[in-house]
A = this chain, B = another copy of it.
Amino acid sequence: MHMAPVRNARSVFNEVPIGLPDPGRTVKYDDSQTIDLDDVDLGGGFLVKVLYVSMDPYLRNRMREPSPKNLRPPFIIGDPLVNFGIGVVLRSENPEMKVDDHIYGFLPFQEYAILKETKAFRVISNEANIPWSAYVGVCSMPGQTAYYGWRALAEAKKGETLFVSAGPVGSFVIQLAKHEGLKVIASAGSDEKVQFIKSIGADVAFNYKKELTTEILDKEGPINIYWDHVGGETLDAALDAAAHFARFVECGMMSQNNATPENPPYIPKNLQLVIGKTLTIRGFVVTVFEDQYKEDFYAEIPSRVAKGELKYVEDVTVGLEGVGQALLNVQTGANRGKSVIRVSQSQ
């Protein structure tokens, strides 16, 4: 029986935000398109039903005017957002992709997509039998970011002290650090999150909206590793509290993302301390270390997640209609865990 064309809803980039994203304007939910799942021309490619896409703070960086100096291309107005996601193959004209294969890679924020580049996707066998959403969370970019950066840049030694802000990446880093015998100081933006980071082993956990980071670090530092997601004033506090030869892993500088001319970002003033304290500051994006550590990651992490050795919290938005709000939430920290968008109800 031939099915009628079905809705192929999308979440499209609508407007470059000034400051924080605006849930009603930055992206628009568009359900005007349909797709004939049986007959649509695949052109040698494969048709995928998108199950989950990831919502991450860094997407904000792609919501801007094109600039030749920036490294990732900006999103295009009128096109769907794109990010890591999990989909399932419905039809395929490419022998490398089989029906029912679950694939991980860059997917559009769209219910169905026709894809060509098999190399851009990894077929996930899920032998650990964990929820598919974990493959856009703890077993995806945030987990990989933590795992790669920790292995490549932290140079962690037992007994040292780490400072990190909690979040999907930070929570993973906390668990890696505790596993290796470090003292962990971790901050979070709500008491609920503070409870969670305590539960996964942080030795010192505090709500940065209620306590001063500088005071905590003065008391609990000096720190040997600062894993940065925040930049700005927090980076300044970490520079001040750094021990000699400390390593700074620069994973994000959220505080710099949503500045406006009226609300300029706090610029760290303690950078000169890198000299006298012999600090190392290294930035990275997850893709840089992918070739080096990807296979180790998939061999090790999903099974540790299945065993409950690595804990995580998810904040699931059901349906593409909620993308605009989720986008804002990951900027303000209103999300309660790793933000994922459940695009399709069926798995």
Contact = CB atoms under 8 A, between A and B. Distances in A.
Contacts of A274: 250, 281-283
A67 to B, nearest CB: 11
B281 A282 contact: yes
A269 interface: yes
Interface string A93-132: 0000000000000000000000000000000000000000
B284 A272 contact: no
B268 A278 contact: no
Number of chain copies forming the complex: 2
A61 B251 CA distance: 31
B281 A72 contact: no
B280 A70 contact: no
B71 A277 contact: yes
Contact of A268 (B267, B279, B285): B267
Contact of A253 (B70, B256, B271, B283): B271
A271 B231 contact: yes
Contacts of A240: 69
A278 B269 contact: no
Nearest to A288: B278
B275 A253 contact: yes
Interface residues of A, number: 33
B276 A283 contact: yes
Interface string A224-235: 000000010001
Given A279-B282, A280-B280, A281-B281, 19 more contacts: A61-B276, A69-B240, A70-B276, A71-B276, A231-B272, A250-B274, A251-B275, A252-B275, A253-B272, A253-B275, A267-B269, A271-B271, A273-B283, A274-B282, A275-B284, A276-B283, A278-B282, A278-B285, A281-B282
26 contacts: A61-B276, A69-B240, A70-B276, A71-B244, A71-B276, A72-B276, A235-B271, A251-B275, A252-B275, A253-B275, A267-B267, A267-B268, A267-B269, A271-B271, A273-B283, A274-B282, A275-B283, A275-B284, A275-B285, A276-B283, A277-B283, A278-B284, A278-B288, A279-B282, A280-B283, A281-B281
Top 7 nearest A-B pairs by Cβ distance?
A274-B283, A275-B283, A281-B281, A71-B276, A267-B267, A253-B272, A280-B282
